[in-house]
Amino acid sequence: STPLRISVDGGIDHKSAARVAGQGGTVLIVGTALFGARDMSAAIRRIRRVAEQAGRRFPAPIFPDRAAR
């Protein structure tokens, strides 16, 4: 059987990522927290770190507009 994916969109940042991942979120859709960050790579690492500390493993982020680069 295919694992169920639970996507959460809205309000995801380094503060909410651990709670969302801990409650079963498997796809975190992050917008403002990344695009408003001075260092997008650092923001991704921080969000990933706190989510993974809640017990979830996440694949590398995909940015469709940059995937070909």
Mean per-residue pLDDT, 14-22: 92
Mean per-residue pLDDT, 34-55: 90
Q: Report the alpha-carbon distance of residue 19 to residue 27 in Å, rounded.
A: 13
Mean per-residue pLDDT, 6-12: 90
- From the CB of residue 33, how many other CB atoms can be counted at a distance below 10 Å? 20
Is 58 within 8 Å of 25 (Cβ atoms)? no
Higher-scoring residue by pLDDT: 43, 4: 43
| Chain-centre distance for alpha carbon 40 | 12
pLDDT reported for residue 69: 40
pLDDT reported for residue 59: 65
Q: Is 15's pLDDT higher than 80? A: yes
